[in-house]
């Protein structure tokens, strides 16, 4: 199995994917990144470009009309888009997060309908887990689903929902047995057009301003019983399995924004002159750049190793997914802060992209489980002896 995912080199196919996405982003994503952030608007230009190139949801299997990209290829897409614009990278990332429960546990009919629609570009797919009083404690959710004949009726509020209002489809976790806590949670597909679905105002955020984050309200939303994902009461288990895989994509996003900041800092350091020479010639700055490059590459290798485990479904994926997300996001924050430092006063202004990258990087330490939660996950895996012995 190890031969399927070499630890230290990308295949020619993966290299080609990376190059294709980079060229696309340089031409059609990066030019709009600053204005998308400034206006806090959805990156429609990037969305159209990604859809045209079939990079909007590369993870969807070929049998449902998708590109059939493996976990590593999907990470490469997200990494390269994040290098140009983190807000835009949430298009493929959240499409995977929202639809993966269907792919992991949905009926064949559900997969054909919703994965097929996603692949065709008929709408994005968001993930509704968090609530106003249920963040890290997702099992404490209060959104309810009650069975009435051949329908389920949903009532409740979800908060911090990425691309809410833009996406057409939503995986929603709701309580179906209040006495069973996490074993009483079930997953459903809800459509934006379902009567009773509405959205709050966009959150005013520090970063990723081009990706709308809203509350989603469910007021007596009636959906057919066949929209249930997996078995009744298995929703929390499905949600956690999903996060094991998608935390790897957040790691890829973090690597991407860190690389983008490093690239810009390197170019600036070689052009900026002080005391009669480029600032790149000063040893103190060289040490900073060296540390930035070293940590970005370490984060990348950990992310790719986790992607291999995601593709294979290895037993130690939970540890590696949490470790990659935690480490890469911490690196992204450090590297983007240091990129601002390299640019000095210029780095503190909106005329240069590194301050946006620094603001965007922060969320990678928070969403899909804070890094404190990731450390709890890793510790439990270590104590259970699950970590790989490689």
Show which residues are catalytic: 368
- The rounded distance, in Å, linking the Cα atoms of 319 and 381 is 6
| Lookup result for tokens 């994965």 | 115
**Burial class, 386, CB count within 10 angstroms (exposed 0-12 / middle 13-18 / buried 19+):** middle
The answer to whether 124 touches 167, Cβ cutoff 8 Å, is yes
Taking residue 13's Cβ as centre, other Cβ atoms within 10 Å add up to 12
- As a whole number of angstroms, the distance between CA 242 and CA 96 comes to 9
DSSP β-bridge partners for residue 169: 125, 191
Residue-wise burial string across 298-336, b where 16 or more C-beta atoms lie within 10 A, e elsewhere: ebbebbbbbbbbbbeebebbbbbbbbbbbbbbbbbbbbb
Cα separation, 311 vs 69, in Å, equals: 10
Burial degree of 364 (CB within 10 A; 0-12, 13-18, 19+): buried
| φ and ψ at residue 77, rounded to 5 degrees | -60, -50
- Give the start-end residues of each E strand in the chain: 125-128, 144-148, 151-162, 169-175, 185-191, 197-199, 213-224, 228-229, 273-274, 277-278
Distance separating alpha carbons of residues 359 and 206, to the nearest angstrom: 6
Token pair, residue 186, equals 């079930």
Pairing of strands 151-162, 125-128: unpaired
> Closest by alpha carbon to 190, among 219, 161, 223?
223
Instruction: Please name every residue paired with 267 in a beta bridge, in sequence order, or none if there are none.
Output: none
What is the 3-class SS of 93-137, one letter each residue? HHHHHHHHHHHHHCCHHHHHHHHHHHHCCCCCEEEECCECCECCC
Longest dimension (CA), the chain: 79
């Amino acid at each position: 199995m190890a031969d399927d995912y070499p630890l230290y080199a990308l295949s020619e196919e993966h290299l080609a994917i990376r190059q294709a996405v980079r060229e696309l982003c340089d031409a059609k994503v990066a030019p709009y990144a600053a204005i998308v952030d400034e206006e806090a608007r959805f990156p429609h230009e990037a969305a159209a470009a990604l859809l045209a190139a079939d990079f909007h949801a590369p993870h969807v299997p070929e049998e449902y009309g998708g590109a059939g990209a493996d976990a590593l290829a999907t990470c490469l897409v997200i990494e390269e888009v994040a290098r140009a614009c983190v807000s835009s990278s949430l298009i493929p990332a959240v499409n995977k997060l929202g639809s993966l429960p269907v792919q992991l546990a949905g009926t064949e009919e559900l997969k054909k309908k919703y994965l097929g629609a996603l692949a065709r570009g008929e709408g994005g797919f968001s993930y509704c887990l968090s609530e106003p009083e249920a963040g890290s404690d997702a099992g404490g959710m209060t959104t309810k689903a009650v069975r009435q004949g051949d329908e389920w009726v949903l009532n409740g509020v979800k908060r911090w929902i990425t691309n809410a209002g833009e996406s057409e489809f939503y995986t929603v976790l709701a309580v179906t047995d209040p006495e069973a806590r996490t074993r009483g949670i079930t997953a459903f597909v809800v459509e934006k057009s379902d009567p009773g679905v509405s959205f709050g105002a966009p959150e005013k955020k520090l970063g990723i301003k081009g990706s709308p984050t809203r509350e989603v309200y469910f007021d007596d939303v009636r959906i057919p019983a066949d929209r249930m994902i997996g078995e009744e009461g298995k929703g929390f288990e499905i949600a956690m399995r999903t996060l094991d895989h998608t935390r790897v994509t957040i790691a890829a996003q973090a690597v991407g924004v860190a690389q983008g900041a490093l690239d810009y800092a390197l170019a600036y350091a070689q052009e900026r002159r002080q005391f009669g020479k480029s600032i790149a010639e000063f040893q103190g700055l060289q040490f900073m750049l060296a540390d930035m490059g070293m940590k970005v590459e370490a984060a990348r290798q950990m992310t790719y190793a986790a992607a291999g485990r995601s593709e294979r479904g290895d037993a130690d994926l939970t540890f590696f997914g949490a470790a990659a997300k935690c480490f890469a996001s911490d690196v992204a924050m450090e590297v983007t802060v240091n990129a601002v430092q390299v640019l000095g006063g210029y780095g503190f202004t909106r005329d240069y992209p590194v301050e946006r990258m620094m603001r965007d990087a922060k969320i990678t330490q928070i969403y899909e489980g804070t890094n404190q939660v990731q450390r709890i996950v890793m510790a439990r895996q270590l104590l259970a002896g699950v970590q790989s012995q490689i």
